[in-house]
């Protein structure tokens, strides 16, 4: 059996740039906290994508608040572009 367009080992790594950083020259930082899953609300979050195999045409980033999924970014991958070279910069709304 041949399976076409199966995506294998897809990951998305959220990172952030500290205040005063230059995204063009500085390296982003990993999330912080005991579980390494906390990002500052005052900074944009940058998502870096990776996978082993597959064809990706669209990426959707969803935020879940109070059991409600909200799409915060829809990215179309231009034909011939490797999504591993794309970075999605997202500004999250602060929950009050």
pLDDT digits (tens, 9 = 90+) for 6-31: 888 989 899 998 888 888 899 999 99
Return the domain boundaries, the chain.
Answer: 11-17+28-90
Rg of the chain taking only CA atoms, in angstroms:
15
pTM of the entire structure? 0.74
- pLDDT band, residue 96 (cuts 50/70/90): very low
Largest CA distance in the chain: 53
For the segment 40-72, what is each residue's pLDDT rounded down to a tens digit? 877 788 899 998 888 888 888 888 878 899 888
Are 59 and 7 in contact by the 8 Å Cβ rule? The answer is no
Tokens of 75: 């990215």
């Amino acid at each position: 059996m041949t399976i076409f367009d199966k995506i294998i080992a897809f990951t998305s790594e959220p990172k952030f740039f500290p205040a005063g950083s230059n995204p063009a020259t500085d390296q982003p930082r990993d999330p912080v906290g005991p579980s390494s899953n906390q990002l500052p609300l005052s900074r944009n979050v940058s998502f870096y994508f990776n996978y082993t195999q597959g064809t990706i045409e669209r990426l959707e980033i969803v935020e879940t608040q109070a059991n409600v999924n909200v799409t915060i970014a829809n990215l179309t991958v231009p034909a011939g572009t490797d999504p591993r070279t794309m970075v999605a910069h997202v500004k999250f709304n602060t929950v009050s």
